Amino acid sequence: MSQGTLLKRQFGHRARISLSPAGIRAVDDQAHAARTVWNCLHSWWQMMPKDKRTLANADAAIRQARKEIEFLAVLPAQAAQTVLKTYFQAWKNCWDGRADAPNFKGRFRTVMSVDIPQGRDLQIKRVHRRWGMANIPKVGRVRFRWTKDLPIGKHADTDNRITGARLVKDHLGWHIAFRVMTLESAPKPHEGPEAGIDAGVNLPLALSDGNHQDHGRPAHTKDGKADRDKWLDADEKAKLLRLERRAAQRKAHRKPGERTSRRLHHTYDQIRGLRAKATRRHQDWQHKTTTHIARTYGTVVVEALTITGMVKSAKGTIEEPGKNVSRKSGLNRSISQEAWGRTVAMLTYKTTRYGGTLRKVPAPNTSLRCSACGFITPGSREDQATFVCKNPDCGWSGNADWNASRNILHLYRMGLALIPAAGRAVVRRARRVKPPTAR
């Protein structure tokens, strides 16, 4: 939505909050109550006839449940209303074919979260340079890390304000994600150069101009296996190995049907904490790298990859067993760790914010075609990291990911970019533009 040269922008900002032990228990109870409200709604939906499944009837059922069940009363009424709206929206997404049908939420496999739909309830105030204060309904005033200027006080108005927030818990603690709406000047068209980007395993982001972006973490261990803990240092890897062995030992002593002990749960929490720390480091690198790319280049070209199909198992069936299953499993793990989809999502909104554009081109044969002569010759990718053209008239050699990034940029310049359907942020239906010239 634009008004003259101004552009209304909505984004989220996530910050770590500091809670006392009593505050942690209070927010945990609210999160469990929100999950219970969802499960009660799902049970109510399955029991009621189709003509009775209305928003008004569901609202009445939730209000009655919060009066009769004391455990649900710890959840603020507005947060319960948000759960109700989210549940009905989940069914609409299912009917429109955008998502699967909603289901029950499990205690241990569901992300704990509580929504604060009204921004005025937060009453945010900056304490000093590092910390701010916010009000959480039925919990009180809590501190959060101040890492970004927020529109509060005299800087807040109708067009620049915080519209709400959401409390989210990971294995390193509770965080608050603010929903911010601002009115900013529309960015000028970015006049930077064009760049093709190939996402790889050995080289995370290879750019067509040779300005490759590497996080310095080896993709494989010394024995050639995929390193799933590359974002941890040596001491953290050793600690993780000890915890995994301890968890396996305690699990072996558990009898069939016996409940998991507190010690085993504590060990699992420590393992998840190390995994969460590695994920944060990776996301930090992705944010910094994609911001640098969006500021430097006016047009960024990537492949239209179907990552879910790329990471499918090669196990096969009993009648037709797969080949190199273990090797393919390690490759799948490396692809999942690099999180290519998240990198493209970051580039999508960051290039728009800085006035640039992101384009996608067809992925087939970008890694097999020679970027110098344009021919596809068998045996050019004998080595995973090196491309050697087998064309007798060419013989070009170089990094395989760099070769693919040059092909990606060339496809865009030939007019083979995929055009997204109108009104959709993700390329679902695309048409191929006929190239003006042939190589």
Cα within 13 Å of Cα(125), Cβ side: 7
Return the pLDDT at 171. 86
Which two tokens mark 129? 């340079």
Taking every pair of C-alpha atoms in the chain, what is the biggest distance, in angstroms?
82
Angle at 339 between CA 295 and CA 200, to 5 degrees: 80
User: Which residue has 């969460």 as its token pair?
Assistant: 276
Return the pLDDT at 438. 35
The values of phi and psi at residue 127, to 5°, are -85, -55
Q: Any long-range contacts for 417-420 (C-beta under 8 Å, 24+ apart)?
A: 417/301, 417/359, 417/360, 417/361, 418/304, 418/359, 418/360, 418/361, 418/362
Q: Is the dihedral of CA 61, 63, 69, 71 positive or negative?
A: positive
Strands lying side by side in the sheet with 357-361? 205-207, 194-199, 299-303, 357-361
**Mapping DSSP to helix (H, G, I), strand (E, B) and coil, where does residue 234 land?**
helix
The values of phi and psi at residue 291, to 5°, are -65, -40
Q: What residues form DSSP beta bridges with 195? A: 300
The residues spanned by each domain of the chain are 2-185, 194-231+267-413
Return the pLDDT at 141. 94
Return the pLDDT at 7. 83
Answer for the pair 367, 382: CB distance below 8 angstroms, yes or no: no
**Which segments of the chain have a pLDDT < 50?**
1-3, 421-439
Answer for the pair 122, 165: CB distance below 8 angstroms, yes or no: yes
Query: Residues near 275 by Cβ (< 8 Å), separated by ≥ 6?
Result: 171
Return the pLDDT at 365. 84
The values of phi and psi at residue 213, to 5°, are -115, 110
Query: Residues near 203 by Cβ (< 8 Å), separated by ≥ 6?
Result: 212, 214, 385, 399, 401, 402
Q: What is the pTM assigned to this prediction?
A: 0.80
Tell me how far apart the alpha carbons of residues 148 and 128 are, in angstroms, rounded to a whole number: 13
User: Which residue has 């090196």 as its token pair?
Assistant: 386
Nearest to 286 by CA among 303, 220, 278, 195: 278
Other C-beta atoms closer than 10 Å to the C-beta of 153 total 9
Tell me how far apart the alpha carbons of residues 102 and 90 are, in angstroms, rounded to a whole number: 6
Return the pLDDT at 434. 37
